[in-house]
Amino acid sequence: MLSILNILEDTTADGPGFRTAIYAAGCPNACPGCHNPESWDIRNGRQMSTEEILHKVLADPFADVTFSGGDPMYQPEGFAELAKAIKEKSCKNIWCYTGYTFEQLLRNTRQRKLLQYIDVLVDGRFRQDLRDETLHFRGSSNQRLIDVPASLQAQKAVTYRRKVEQN
Ligand code: SF4
């Protein structure tokens, strides 16, 4: 089971193209200036099964998928199960927003398991002092768009570029 705040269909704000965005409840990061402080408490979410969320994701044959929040990496086992099922049943790419850095996730066994199903990671806490509204798909300039498969292979963060340049 996952604690979910909201699921938005066909959003264009959380990655390239049309996407089904799944907003996790629960975030330990408490970034000053957070756009969504009500997401911090995991009890504010609705309990949803992997099957229920998967059904919504697969109902749209065109939309790709974004995990956001809150912080999906706060519920790594549930999101890993969901991401694995999405990859088994579709060709959808998965973007994931998190307040943790890629390097922190690599060191955490539970979170690392979720990483292996992610295509692009938008990492790091939102920093008000580095806020930049001209950036694509991220709020502050410390946050990175990371090509996860390439980064896992290289064992270091590799910047994701392709689709951002087309948008
Ligand atoms: S990681 Fe995101 S949801 Fe969590 S406190 Fe920071 S800005 Fe808010």
**Could you report the per-residue pLDDT of 56-68, keeping only the tens digit for each?**
999 999 999 999 9
Residue 133: partners with Cβ closer than 8 Å, 6 or more residues away: none
Per-residue model confidence (pLDDT) at position 163: 53
Find the 38 Cα to ligand 1 centroid distance in Å: 10
Domain boundaries, the chain: 2-166
Tell me the best of 14, 31, 144 to mutate to test the pocket of ligand 1, counting ligand atoms within 8 Å of each CB and taking the most: 31
Strands (E) in the chain, as ranges, are 2-11, 19-24, 46-48, 64-68, 94-97, 120-123, 144-147
Sign of CA dihedral 93, 39, 7, 163: negative
Question: Tokens 């295509």 correspond to what residue?
Answer: 119
Which neighbouring-strand residues pair with 66?
21, 95
Cβ–ligand 1 contact at 125 (below 6 Å): yes
Sign of CA dihedral 108, 122, 144, 142: negative
Q: What is the pLDDT of residues 72-126, one digit of tens each?
A: 999 999 999 999 999 999 999 999 999 999 999 999 999 999 999 999 999 999 9
Question: Tokens 């044959």 correspond to what residue?
Answer: 61
91 burial level (CB within 10 Å; 0-12, 13-18, 19+): exposed
Find the 137 Cα to ligand 1 centroid distance in Å: 14
What single-letter amino acid sits at 75?
Q
- 156 confidence band (pLDDT: 50, 70, 90): very high
Nearest to 162 by CA among 142, 143, 139, 137: 137
CATH superfamily, with its number, for domain 2-166: Aldolase class I (3.20.20.70)
Tell me the best of 4, 38, 39, 105 to mutate to test the pocket of ligand 1, counting ligand atoms within 8 Å of each CB and taking the most: 39
Q: Are 110 and 75 in contact (CB under 8 A)?
A: no
What is the pTM for the complete model shown? 0.94
Cβ–ligand 1 contact at 30 (below 6 Å): yes
Nearest to 71 by CA among 109, 45, 49, 53: 45
Strands (E) in 61-160, as ranges, are 64-68, 94-97, 120-123, 144-147
